[in-house]
Amino acid sequence: MDKWLNRAFLTGLLALLLAVPIGTALWGAEKTTAYYENRTLAERPALTGTSLWDGTFGSAFESWLSDHFPGRATLLKGDTAVQMRLRPVVNGAVLGGEVLLPFRDYDTWSAEEQSARAAERGEKFAALNGYIEENGGTFLFVGFPEQRTYFDSEYPAYLNSCAEETASASRLFREALEDRGVPFLDMGEVYDAQGHPASYYASVDHHYTWYGAWAAYQEIMETLHASGFDLPVLTEDDLDIQTLPNPCIGSRNRKLYNLWPNDDHIVLGIQKDPVAFDRRDNGQPSGTPLFVTPSSAAEPVAYGVYMGGDYGETVLETHRPELPKLLIFGDSFTNALETLLYASFDETRSLDLRHYQGGSLKDYIADYRPDVVLCVLNDSFYYTTAGNGAVWED
Amino acid sequence: MAFSSMTFLFGFLPAVLVCYFLLPTRCRRGRNMVLLLFSLAFYAWGGVRLLPALLASCVLNWAGALLAAPGKRHRKAAYGCTLALNVTMLGYFKYTGFLVTNLNALGADLTVPAIALPAGISFFTFQAIAYLTDVYRGTIPAERSLGRVTLFMAFFPQLLQGPILRYGEFAPALTDRRETVSDAADGAVRFCFGLGKKVLLADALGQIANGAFAAGGRLTVSLAWLGAVAYTLQLYFDFSGYTDMAIGLGRVFGFSLPENFDYPYVSKSASEFWRRWHRTLSFWFRDYVYIPLGGSRCSVPRQLLNLLAVWLLTGLWHGAAWNFVLWGLYYAALLMGERFLWGKALERLPAALRHAYALVLVTVGWVLFRSSGLAQVGEMLSAMFGAAPGGVWSGETVYYLRQYGWELLAAIPAALPVKRWLQTALTQRQQRGSGSAAVTLALAPKVLAAVLLAASVVRLLSSTFRSFLYFQF
């Protein structure tokens, strides 16, 4: 029996060792993206004399082989399911609470360092604010807590929520802007005043929900009204609020291969008498609606429903020249807001500077001279100097 | 190339197995040639630029041994020169930066050179010195074939982390070995167990150790101890896992490589620990440094000096930094103490106390070993013994205990000779005629090996999981 067992064992092992490279060659190499990881897969490295000499070919080949392992996504999904039963933190997501939160490491930030960085950011935004005013516009910075900040009390006591550091960083950032005369709307404060409703933020995604966006819209419109803008404002009576029955894939749950059970659903605020618009995305006419909904109720949806996701530039023209023009730039928190804000302006231009390749924000403002400029950022980007943080270059 | 890499498991390994076993058994030279070529490719995978150092060492020691063999003229000079060149080469690659940094600390103004360290240089240089010395002493004949010497020094299963081979034990297998199905199956099982130790235990425990050793001002008493214990276990599973893989691969190709570990954490003294930990290195120092210096057959002061020299070199062999020197001297002090001061008193203590004594001392030793410098040694040790900046307990400790609790639980029986106990018990039952014991003995290791291999591969894949919140396509 021993001999038979040994032969069977060795044959099975050798078959496995050979099956993987064959499988990779036949099927694995075709894939270019890893949906659940939200990234591109490594490309097959080019064999060059230099890369062989310095060893970079070996490490690049290892990345390629790992990324294109046959059945990789299925194996990782299975492993995630097992890990979720064994550990409190899986793939960077904190399990066990009412909401999915990201794991934060235990490093602390120094107050001096934060303070210096806040001053630096304040200078940039002050320069931008001055430039917008020179061009006849009004600037408003709208700051949001990210989901991990909004639900920081949900972290288990033994994990680091970074609550103090985030609060300190946000306070310093806000002070740096306000001290330099930059109008700042702190939506975290607004949400707190409204009782910090849990419904404002997703449990499986890092964004707010439509309800959070709706509250923000109302607050922005009030702030603009106080600044002298007389704009048409949508009220709840103007909207048909619909909850999509589709299962919701949030960015947090995506890391868990959507295995974390939840009741999140995407909510849409559809205008009963919609303001008509023409849309252009990245300079091209676009028929993409405000809400890109799936064709069936079983199909999963994500935050990308709002405006169809992130674009470098989106222009919505309502052809009402009596109304002012809006420029809104920032992260994906803008998307849900745009579905509401555009109805109050003649033209709404939205830039996501992470993706926009058409030039600097400064040039864009000079070219289009918007009446209102909104910067919409969540607190995880306050100190980012690239992308939507690249607001001013001297 | 690491054994725990996809490239090795699913590229290199099947390729070498197919090429090797496609050649008929009688074609021994051809099979050796396959092993040699694949060994060089294995080494060059990390960068062809590292290959010349290995090849130069092979040629140097092959020629040096031929000239230093008994009966050759000027063989003493040939031996001395070759030995000096080996030490110089090791010194140049491994210790130049350390030396220059220390000279600068003393006031010199020298540029610290950026020298790429050839992987495994400490291992292949020690193997070469052992070969050269054995030839010089007349213990073994000088090998005339450069290919055989190169294969001995570059044999891929043990090239990067040992075990340190002796040519006298390796050479007969080059011509007379027999690859059998039974050995190959045992070797494959051993390889899978080693891979599991490395990937499933050591890598996870390493996360705790990394966190604790990087905690700095957040360090608590509990985190310092947890980190030290995790590192103690990580190092064992990492190194012994690698050794298991090396021995297993060797067996697949018909070689019997020496054991390097014998459950070191069951030791009851520091001396016993070093008879169980990295045995091939201990034997190397015994045979090529300690005994030539006079060993223990000399005066007590001389014995102390010999011990000090051996442990200073052992420390430096492990790394070019002061904490390794300190670690070596720490063991010198412990071994001297056990031999001349408290050894007899220790033997009279209950076994549990002796075991605790050894474990605490070994754990403290690994803190010296793992620390990035003397400052961190002080930081960690003072935290372990009560003076921690963060107090006694922290959420971070709880996190690591909960996150890696399974690995910590599994590590304890895995570090004990449980497998040996089970095997002995089953063998005894089998000898008494138990059919189920016979089936378990034949089947269980293979099933477990297959499970460990599958779990390790999935874990390795999981370590490449990189999720981005924002679009990264």
In this complex, which of A24, A55, A69 lies closest to B46 when CB atoms are compared?
A: A55
Strand partners, B430: none
Same domain, B138 and B200: no
Contacting A residues, span 147-186, partner chain B, CB-CB under 8 Å: 157-160
Which pLDDT does position B468 carry in this prediction? 63
Beta-carbon neighbour count of residue B33 at 10 Å? 16
What are the tens digits of pLDDT across the range B265-311? 999 999 999 999 999 999 999 999 999 999 888 999 999 999 999 99
B471 inside domain: no
Print the SS3 string covering B76-87.
Answer: HHHHHHHHHHHH
Instruction: Give chain B positions within 8 Å (CB) of A7.
Output: 181
Question: Do residues B217 and B276 share a domain?
Answer: yes
d(CA B403, CA A89): 7
As given in the structure block, the two tokens for residue A118 are 């806040």
| pLDDT above 70 for A164 | yes
What digits encode the pLDDT tens for the residues A80-104? 999 999 999 999 999 988 999 999 9
What pLDDT is stored for residue A394 in this prediction?
75
Average pLDDT, integer, range A337-355: 95
- Domain termination residue (choose one: B376, B391, B412): B412
- Cα B35 to Cα A170, B147, B243: the distances in Å are 61, 11, 18
Tokens for B48, please give them: 């062809």
User: Is the bond into A245 cis (omega within 30 degrees of 0)?
Assistant: no
Determine the Cα–Cα distance for residues B8 and B20; give it in Å rounded to an integer.
Answer: 16
Q: Which of A4, A158, A384 to mutate to test the interface with B (most CBs of B within 10 A)?
A: A158
pLDDT digits (tens, 9 = 90+) for A293-327: 999 999 999 999 999 988 999 999 999 999 999 99
The pLDDT score that the predictor gives to residue B467 is: 63
Measured CA to CA, the distance from residue A378 to residue B312 in angstroms comes to 56
Which residue bears the tokens 């040699």?
B36
B473 part of a folded domain: no
Verify that B292 and B382 share a domain, yes or no.
Answer: yes
Taking CB atoms and an 8 Å cutoff, what residues of chain B touch A102? 469
Asked if residue B40 and residue B116 are part of one domain, the reply reads: yes
pLDDT < 50 regions, chain B: 471-473
Residue A119, class by beta-carbon neighbours within 10 Å (0-12 exposed, 13-18 middle, 19+ buried)?
middle
pLDDT score of B473: 43
Q: What pLDDT score was predicted for residue B472?
A: 39
Q: Are residues B109 and B164 in the same domain?
A: yes
CA distance to partner chain A, nearest, from residue B51 (Å):
9
Taking an 8 Å cut-off on Cβ atoms, the answer to whether B10 and A66 are in contact is no
Total domain count, chain B = 3
Enumerate the residues of chain B whose CB falls inside 8 A of the CB of residue A87: 402-403
Question: Token pair of A138, please?
Answer: 């009004």
What are the tokens at B83? 């030995």
Q: Where are the domains of chain A?
A: 1-70, 111-389
3-state SS of B265-304 is HHCCCHHHHHHHCCHHHHHHHHHHHHCCCCCCCCCHHHHH
| B302, B445: one domain | no
Tokens of B182: 């039974």
For residues B42 and B12, is the Cβ–Cβ distance under 8 A?
Answer: yes
| Among B5, B17, B461, beta carbon nearest to A72 | B461
Percent of chain A topping pLDDT 70 = 99
- CA-to-CA separations, B277 to A199, B163, B421, in angstroms, rounded: 58, 11, 20
- The order of strands in the sheet holding A89-90 is A89-90, A93-94, A101-102
- Chain B neighbors of A2, CB-CB under 8 A: 182, 442
Q: Are residues B156 and B63 in the same domain?
A: yes
Burial of B139 (0-12, 13-18, 19+ CB in 10 A): middle
The helix (H) or strand (E) run that includes residue A36 is: none
Q: What is the DSSP letter of A270?
A: E
Is B1 inside any structural domain? no
Question: Under an 8 A CB cutoff, do B403 and A88 touch?
Answer: yes
Tokens of A248: 């919701």
Cross-chain residue pair A88–B395, CB shorter than 8 Å: no
Nearest by CB to B403, from A39, A72, A87: name it: A87
Residues B40 and B161 occupy one common structural domain:
yes
Angle between helical axes of B13-22 and A2-26 (0-180°, round to 10): 120
Q: Please report whether residue B15 resides in a domain.
A: yes
CA nearest A67 in B: which residue?
B464
CB contacts of A256 in chain B (<8 Å) are: none
pTM of the full predicted structure? 0.91
B188 in the same domain as B147 = no
Which candidate from A54, A91, A92 shows the least CB-CB separation from B49? Answer: A54
Q: What pLDDT shows up at residue B471? A: 47
Q: What is the pLDDT of residue B279?
A: 96
What pLDDT is attached to residue A188?
97
Is B102 domain-assigned? Answer: yes
A79 touches chain B (CB under 8 A): yes
Q: Which residues on chain A are in Cβ contact (under 8 Å) with B398? A: 158
Residue A211, H or E segment = helix A210-226
The torsion region of residue A69 among left (phi > 0), alpha (psi -120 to 50) and beta comes to: beta
Range of the domain at B126: 6-177
Burial (Cβ within 10 Å: 0-12, 13-18, ≥19) of residue A233: middle
> Would you place residue A350 in the very low, low, confident or very high pLDDT band (cuts 50, 70, 90)?
very high
The fraction of chain A above a pLDDT of 90, given in percent, is 85
| Closest chain B C-alpha to A241 CA, distance in angstroms | 28
Across all residues in chain A, what is the average pLDDT?
A: 94
Q: Tell me the catalytic residues of B.
A: 318
- Put simply, the answer to whether A1 touches B470 (Cβ < 8 Å) is no
Q: Is residue B466 part of a domain?
A: no
Domain's final residue, options B177, B195, B211? B177
Three-state secondary-structure class, residue B260: coil
- Shortest Cα distance from A159 to chain B (angstroms)? 6
Per-residue pLDDT tens for B245-276? 999 999 999 999 999 999 999 999 999 999 99
The distance of A160 to chain B (nearest Cα, Å) reads: 8
State phi, psi for A141 to the nearest 5 degrees: -90, 125
Boundary-marking domain end, from B148, B177, B206: B177
Q: Which residue of A has its CA nearest to B216?
A: A107
Alpha-carbon gap: A315 to the closest alpha carbon of chain B (Å): 21
Q: Is residue B70 part of a domain?
A: yes
